[in-house]
Amino acid sequence: MKWLNTKEGGIFLILIALSAVLAVRSPVFLTMENMIDMLKTNVVLAMMAIGMTLVIVIGGIDVSVGAMTALVSVLIGKWMVAFGYDLSVVLLMSVAGGAVLGAINGWLISKIRVHAIVVTLGTLSIYSGIAMYVTGGIWINNLPQAFIDFGRQNLFGIPMSGGTLAIPIQVLFLVLVAAATGYMLKHLRIGRMIYAVGGNPLSAERAGIRQDRVQLFVYTYMGFLSGLAAFVHTSIYRQVDPSAFTGFELQVIAAVVLGGANILGGSGSVTGTLLGVALLAVISNGLTLTHVPSFWHKVIIGLFIVTAVSFDIIQRKRRERRLAKIDVLQ
């Protein structure tokens, strides 16, 4: 019961409420097929949002994530077309490539002391420019069959009344990422350091935490996850579209913020972010299922974000006033 009082609990309740409304309005919503479809569509968003959570917790931001994913998918796409598919090679390439791109971001941000948004704006242009140039804007279609088969795999295969409960393999990746990142944030030293730097950089510095090292790690990890996301995305859609991720970073940031993270740093969690992703997913799915014309989608999501963050801020301010009062009244 106590959990419901936390920020994540609140978001979870909103999620349940929305889902309930949706289940009533559309009979398709709660079907196995729809659920799995939602999962598949949002695995990539979820993975990247998890990476972005760390970035936002340390008070930074990375608007180049869409471009990083695009570039890595172009990289592995071209590789597979030329050299065929080998799971370990391609997977390694994806995460290593992504990590390198992320490390460039991290290195620049930590060394030249310029705000992350400007640096990542620059790398955004560079990475997406390269991706587009190398492909000429054309999609890469002829991926090796072995890869496509890999992407089609499902775990389990339990027949149920609504259909077969078959979880796509990509979800496994997400689960591993979520578990690993959550564990890292809660139980490993690096996790503590990340929260410390985000909460109060000065104190963290005085406590001996090297802010530049933490930044380097966080942005590299973001790149690592972007690379993995590229691998997963390509395995789902079976082709590479170099412009598929344009503007994606905004959705990623929105998911993290909706998940309760403070944009100024210091708070945020994997659970919260996943809930944020779920919220966005349910809203999108709901809008489609209830046949709301597509132009209203953006309006509604935009209004939702504005309302959600406003409530969050108002609550936070109220909490601060209450704390100040308690101090006085005792």
Task: Give the shortest CB-127-to-another protein separation in angstroms.
Answer: 8
Dig out the tokens for 167 from the structure.
């979880």
Q: What is 19-73 written as a DSSP string?
A: HHHHHHH-TTTTSHHHHHHHHHHHHHHHHHHHHHHHHHHTT---TTHHHHHHHHH
**Angle ∠(11,12,14) on CA atoms, nearest 5:** 65
Find the binder of another protein among 25, 111, 152, 318 (CB under 8 A).
111
> Within 13 Å and on the Cβ side, how many CA atoms surround 329?
6
Task: Indicate the residue among 92 and 292 with the shorter CB distance to another protein.
Answer: 292
Find the binder of another protein among 4, 25, 87, 129 (CB under 8 A).
129
| Residue 250 within binding range of another protein, rule CB under 8 A | yes
| Residue 300 within binding range of another protein, rule CB under 8 A | yes
Task: Give the shortest CB-164-to-another protein separation in angstroms.
Answer: 36
| Residue 318 within binding range of another protein, rule CB under 8 A | no
C-alpha–C-alpha distance, residues 94 and 92, integer Å: 5
Name the CA dihedral angle for 166, 168, 171, 173, rounded to a multiple of 10 degrees.
130
Name the CA dihedral angle for 48, 51, 53, 58, rounded to a multiple of 10 degrees.
-140
Task: Give the shortest CB-30-to-another protein separation in angstroms.
Answer: 27
Task: Give the shortest CB-114-to-another protein separation in angstroms.
Answer: 5
- Per-residue binding string, another protein, 255-284, x by CB under 8 A, is --x-----xx--------------------
Q: What is 221-241 written as a DSSP string?
A: HHHHHHHHHHHHHHHHHSSB-
Q: Which long-range contacts (CB under 8 A, 24 or more apart) does 78-82 make?
A: 78/134, 78/135, 78/140, 80/143, 80/144, 80/147, 81/140, 81/142, 81/143, 81/144
Task: Give the shortest CB-19-to-another protein separation in angstroms.
Answer: 22
Under a CB-based contact definition with an 8 Å cutoff, are residues 268 and 259 in contact?
yes
| Residue 327 within binding range of another protein, rule CB under 8 A | yes
C-alpha–C-alpha distance, residues 175 and 170, integer Å: 9
Task: Indicate the residue among 232 and 283 with the shorter CB distance to another protein.
Answer: 283
Dig out the tokens for 131 from the structure.
């991706």
Q: What distances in angstroms separate CA 67 from CA 57, 245, 272, 289, one per listed residue?
A: 21, 7, 25, 30
Find the binder of another protein among 23, 186, 303, 318 (CB under 8 A).
303
| Residue 299 within binding range of another protein, rule CB under 8 A | yes
Task: Give the shortest CB-115-to-another protein separation in angstroms.
Answer: 4
Candidates 35-43, 141-149, 199-207, 253-261 — which segment interacts with another protein by CB under 8 A?
Answer: 253-261
Tell me the site size for another protein, rule CB under 8 A.
52
| Residue 61 within binding range of another protein, rule CB under 8 A | yes
| Residue 328 within binding range of another protein, rule CB under 8 A | yes
Task: Give the shortest CB-146-to-another protein separation in angstroms.
Answer: 31
Task: Indicate the residue among 34 and 262 with the shorter CB distance to another protein.
Answer: 262
**Residue numbers at the binding site for another protein (CB under 8 A):** 61, 108, 111-115, 117-119, 121-126, 128-130, 132-133, 137, 250, 253-254, 257, 263-264, 294-306, 309-310, 313-314, 317, 321, 325, 327-330
